[in-house]
Amino acid sequence: MISLDFQQLRPETLLVFTDFASAMALRAFQTKNSSVDGHAANDNFVCISNRRIATVEEMKKTKDKSVLISEDLEVFDVDVHHYFEETYSSGKKTDHAMHNVCLDNTISLYRKEFQKRYNCELKNVIVWTDNAPTQYRCRQNFLKVASVAERHDGIQITHRLAVVDNFKGVHDAVGKDCAQLIKGLELIGIRSPNAEAVFKNCYERLEKSDEHTEWKGYEKEKDGRLKNKGRFGMDRRTVWFVVESEDEHDRLSLRYPGRILLCDRSFVLDTHTGKAVEGTQQMHELRSSATEVPVVHPLKWPASVANLPCNCISCYNNPLNDQCKYIEWRLPREVQLQIKCLHPKEAERWVGDELVHNIDKKGVNAKAIEFLLAENKWKIELDGGKHMMISYDQFCRGKKRLEKMNAQKKKKDARTK
């Protein structure tokens, strides 16, 4: 399946392999005191694009003469991105929120890169991950995939969860480069006591453009050594740092312009009931299908899901087709993911809106007077002055009741005239 993604990689598609490396424990080589070890979370993204055929030529000696043999190779642009984040306990920050900040940055970056490098528009992003329940196989992540249109207009994401348990590969190997560098520096007295230092040391020593790596030169010269590139021979490497506060973001952005990202965990998009999408235990592919942000409240994001990832021509063109020869195992279907609450900025705009709230099966007019972020709820004032808290779902129903009541009133007025 992964092989097919390579062979069929289209010009407008970016193929991504990603995983968190095991957290780096930043223990000093010579521990002076019993200070707590810092930890750096490292999320690695390997981004593949621009499938092309390159020709190489090699002299081959036969019995009595040398002949020039030419060979066609399938090559790709391979970029590695390391995203670091501070974490005081191992594993704590390696979650769906961090993954999605990194993925959003990757998509924004490659929209520009596709234009610049290939004069082509990025349209599809295929993301391969393992099944980690706190990172990828969770409703918060599925909702992020389904709602991509909200953040990246015109982009479709296909998230593929590896069917096998041992999803190992290049995305693991690349993380080891950072760990090795930090360990080596520690041995010669260059410390990395926290994730910021890890980022700084990797940023200064590991970054590479395609001018620093050998492959572009080999391709141009038709050099046979291009064969060693394989699928994952790296062309470029970029290092990023993810922080959690705006102050830190502003402070570090001055020193590392464009390389600092903000992961705001104060609001996480979640599903209405907090329940998983039905049948997601067997699901291994989820594809965004909304091309526009839905306008009817409560907002529901549609997505196409399947138990088996497939890349046949029928599935590529329409994931819900019934022509796929694996359909029996694939079981493609459409799902709707209803959000639990609006983004705080939009939720604030609902303050002042009117609704009809049901109390003991009787409609009472009310008005939202405040949005409380911590609870994801609005404080409303009922006719008569009483206050209470309501959820997004309740607010949506209250607005519908008001609409219905107003419509009935209008009808009644029309009749009495």
Which stretches of the chain bind Zn ion, using CB under 5 A? 310, 312, 315, 324
Q: In angstroms, rounded to a whole number, what is the distance separating the alpha carbons of residues 159 and 321?
A: 18
How many Cα atoms are found within 13 Å in the side-chain-facing hemisphere of 133? 3
- Report, in Å, the least distance between residue 311 CB and Zn ion: 7
- Inter-residue contact 234 to 216 (CB < 8 Å): no
Nearer to Zn ion among residue 56 and residue 315 (C-beta): 315
Least separation in angstroms between residue 159's CB and Zn ion is 17
> What one-letter code names the amino acid at 315?
C
Nearer to Zn ion, 56 or 324 (CB): 324
Report the nearest approach of Zn ion to the CB of residue 313 (Å).
Answer: 8
Cβ proximity to Zn ion: between 312 and 364 the closer is 312
Rounded Cα–Cα distance for residues 397 and 208 (Å) = 54
Using CA of residue 173, residue 176, residue 177, residue 180, what is the dihedral sign?
A: negative
- Residue closer to Zn ion by CB (options 148, 324) is 324
Tell me the CA distances in angstroms from 280 to 74, 163, 294, one per residue in order. 35, 13, 23
In the numeric block, the tokens 């295929």 are attached to: 126
213 or 321: whose CB is closer to Zn ion? Answer: 321
Distance of closest approach, residue 197 Cβ to Zn ion, in angstroms: 47
Q: Least Å distance between CB 312 and Zn ion?
A: 3
Q: Which is nearer to Zn ion, 165 or 322 (CB)?
A: 322
- How many CA atoms, within 13 angstroms, populate the side-chain half-sphere of residue 92? 11
Contacts of 213 (CB under 8 A, 6+ apart): 233, 234, 235, 236
The residue written with tokens 């957290």 in the block is 23
Question: Would you call 81 helix, strand, or coil by DSSP?
Answer: strand
Give 315 or 402: the residue with its C-beta nearer to Zn ion: 315
Dihedral sign computed on CA atoms, order 62, 67, 73, 76? positive
| Residue 32: CB atoms within 10 Å | 6
Cβ closer to Zn ion: 78 or 315?
315
CB 336 to Zn ion: min, Å: 23
Q: What is the closest distance, in whole angstroms, from the C-beta atom of residue 321 to Zn ion in the complex? A: 7
User: How far is residue 17 from each of residues 130, 186, 230, 296, measured CA to CA in Å?
Assistant: 10, 29, 16, 35
Least spacing, CB of residue 166 vs Zn ion, in Å: 24
User: 226 or 324: whose CB is closer to Zn ion?
Assistant: 324
- Give min distance, CB of 10 to Zn ion, in A: 16
The two three-digit tokens of residue 82, written as one number: 């390391």
Q: How far apart are CA 20 and CA 408, in angstroms?
A: 56
Q: Are 141 and 103 in contact (CB under 8 A)?
A: no
Q: Are 73 and 226 in contact (CB under 8 A)?
A: yes
